[in-house]
C-alpha cells in the first residue's frame, strides 16, 4: 500500500492506493506541513484502521511538500512535483491520456497531458482561495458552507453590470443575462447573499474563460476540472453557462478533490 499526501495551501488530502485501487481518502486541516502529513497518516490509522506499519511507501506533493526533508515515520518517502501529480491524477480520473486540466484549488493552474508528457501551461491566482478571501473582506465570513448558502439566495444582477443593463439586445453571442462587468453595478441595496453570489460567479467566470482560451489554443473541446473547486455547485453552473456559449465542455470527475494525492502515488509508481 502506498499513501499519497497532497499538502495544499488550504488543506491536506491523503489517499491510500493498492495496485491502482483507491482504498481510502481523507482530508486534514493543519497549519503546518509536517503536522498535516503526520496527522494525515495518524487519521488513516485511528479513523480507518490502516496501520502505519502496513504502508510500504509515501508520495508527498503540493506546496507544503517542499517543507518536508526526511522520511515520514521512517517509511520511504518520495517527493513528487505538484504539476506531475496533477497530470497523473487527471489522467487516472478522466481515464484519458490527451487532456487539459484546470486544477481549481486555492489558485488555479492549467496542465496539459499528451504523448509528450505532462506540462504546465500557466494559470491564475484566481481560485477557491479568492472566494474565501474576498468573502472575508466583503461579507465578513470565510466559512465555505456559509458562503455557499448565502450565494444560493443571491441575485447576481444587483452586483454585476449585465448585458441587459447596457443594451436592448444580445451583443454578439452574449445573452442579455450575462455579466458585462463583474461588480460594476454594486447597488447600495445589494445584500450579503448577492455579494456572495457575485464573488463565486466572478471566480468561475475568470477560470471558465481562461479554460476556453487554453482549450482553443490547443484545439481541444473539453477541460477536466480537478481540485476541491470541482465540488462547488454554483461554480459548476457558471462553467455550464460558459460551456453553452463557447462549446467547450467541462468534465467533473469523481474524487477530483483527491486527484493530486492520487497522482502523486501514480507518478511515484511510474518513476
Q: Which of 3, 4, 5, 8 binds Mg ion (CB under 5 A)?
A: 8
| CA–CA distance, 51 with 58 (Å, rounded to integer) | 14
Instruction: Check binding of 129 to Mg ion (CB under 5 A).
Output: no
Cell of residue 43, nine digits: 487519521
| CA–CA distance, 51 with 54 (Å, rounded to integer) | 5
Contact 176, 170 (CB under 8 A): yes
For Mg ion, which is the closer residue by CB, 77 or 226? 226
CA nearest neighbour of 23 among 37, 6, 2: 2
For ligand ATP, which is the closer residue by CB, 89 or 128? 128
How many residues bind ligand ATP (CB under 6 A)? The answer is: 19
Contact 223, 248 (CB under 8 A): yes
| CA–CA distance, 10 with 271 (Å, rounded to integer) | 28
> 86-125: which residues touch ligand ATP (CB under 6 A)?
105-107
Sheet containing 12-18, strands listed edge to edge, beginning at the edge strand earlier in sequence: 21-28, 12-18, 2-7, 57-61, 77-79
Spell out, one character per residue from 103 to 122, where the chain touches Mg ion: x when CB under 5 A holds, - when not. Answer: --x-----------------
| CA–CA distance, 52 with 49 (Å, rounded to integer) | 9
Alpha helices in 140-191 (DSSP H): 144-152, 163-166
Minimum Å gap between C-beta 194 and ligand ATP is: 19
CA nearest neighbour of 104 among 201, 228, 224, 197: 228
Q: Which among Mg ion, ligand ATP, none contacts residue 144 (Cβ within 5 to 8 A by kind)?
A: ligand ATP
Instruction: Check binding of 10 to ligand ATP (CB under 6 A).
Output: yes
Instruction: Check binding of 129 to ligand ATP (CB under 6 A).
Output: yes
For ligand ATP, which is the closer residue by CB, 178 or 234? 234
Q: Which among ligand ATP, Mg ion, none contacts residue 203 (Cβ within 5 to 8 A by kind)?
A: none
Instruction: Check binding of 263 to Mg ion (CB under 5 A).
Output: no
> 217-236: which residues touch ligand ATP (CB under 6 A)?
227-229, 231-232
> 30-89: which residues touch ligand ATP (CB under 6 A)?
62-63
Q: For binding to ligand ATP (CB under 6 A), which residues are involved?
A: 8-11, 62-63, 105-107, 128-129, 131-132, 144, 227-229, 231-232
Amino acid at each position: 500500500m502506498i499513501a499519497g499526501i497532497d499538502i495544499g495551501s488550504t488543506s491536506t488530502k491523503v489517499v491510500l492506493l493498492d495496485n491502482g485501487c483507491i482504498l481510502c481518502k481523507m482530508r486534514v486541516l493543519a497549519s503546518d506541513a509536517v503536522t498535516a502529513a503526520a496527522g494525515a497518516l495518524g487519521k488513516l490509522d485511528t479513523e480507518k484502521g490502516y496501520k502505519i506499519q502496513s504502508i510500504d511507501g509515501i508520495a508527498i506533493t503540493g506546496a507544503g511538500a517542499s517543507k518536508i526533508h526526511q522520511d515520514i515515520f521512517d517509511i520511504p518517502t518520495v517527493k513528487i512535483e505538484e504539476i506531475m501529480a496533477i497530470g497523473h491524477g487527471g489522467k487516472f480520473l478522466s481515464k484519458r491520456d490527451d487532456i487539459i486540466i484546470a486544477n481549481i484549488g486555492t489558485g488555479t493552474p492549467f496542465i496539459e497531458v499528451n504523448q509528450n508528457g505532462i506540462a504546465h501551461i500557466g494559470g491564475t491566482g484566481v481560485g477557491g482561495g479568492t472566494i474565501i478571501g474576498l468573502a472575508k473582506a466583503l461579507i465578513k465570513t470565510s466559512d465555505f458552507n456559509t458562503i455557499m448558502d448565502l450565494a444560493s439566495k443571491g441575485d447576481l444582477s444587483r452586483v454585476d453590470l449585465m448585458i441587459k443593463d447596457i443594451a436592448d439586445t444580445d451583443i454578439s453571442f452574449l445573452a442579455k443575462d450575462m455579466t458585462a462587468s463583474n461588480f460594476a453595478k454594486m447597488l447600495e441595496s445589494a445584500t450579503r447573499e448577492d455579494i456572495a453570489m457575485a464573488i463565486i460567479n466572478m471566480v468561475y467566470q475568470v477560470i471558465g474563460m481562461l479554460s476556453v482560451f487554453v482549450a482553443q489554443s490547443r484545439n481541444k473541446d473539453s477541460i477536466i476540472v480537478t481540485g476541491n473547486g470541482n465540488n462547488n455547485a454554483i461554480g459548476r453552473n457558471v462553467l455550464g453557462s460558459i460551456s453553452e456559449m463557447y462549446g467547450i465542455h467541462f468534465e467533473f470527475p469523481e474524487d477530483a478533490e483527491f486527484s493530486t494525492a492520487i497522482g502523486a502515488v501514480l507518478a511515484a509508481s511510474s518513476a
